[in-house]
């Protein structure tokens, strides 16, 4: 029962790290796109 309780945590934690990395990459892409648009307008 202990392994059964820990299993969801082991599954969710890597997914949480993956989603956080994806969010970081998305934020970087958004900043780069914003900078390109900002440079074009200026």
Reported as half-sphere exposure (CB side, CA atoms, 13 A), residue 7 has a value of 5
Q: What is the pLDDT of residue 7?
A: 62
The whole model's pTM is what?
A: 0.44
pLDDT at 40: 64
> What is the pLDDT at residue 27?
85
Pairwise CA distance, residues 36 & 29, whole Å: 11
Q: Within its chain, how far is the Cα of 11 from the centroid?
A: 16
pLDDT at 23: 79
d(CA 11, CA 39): 43
> Residue 10 has what pLDDT?
56
Q: How far apart are the first and last CA of the chain?
A: 62
pLDDT tens over the chain, length 42 residues: 555 666 665 566 666 777 778 878 888 888 888 788 777 654
């Amino acid at each position: 029962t202990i392994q059964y309780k820990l299993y969801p945590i082991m599954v969710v934690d890597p997914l949480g790290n993956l989603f956080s990395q994806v969010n970081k990459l998305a934020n970087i892409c958004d900043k780069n796109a914003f900078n390109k648009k900002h440079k074009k307008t200026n």
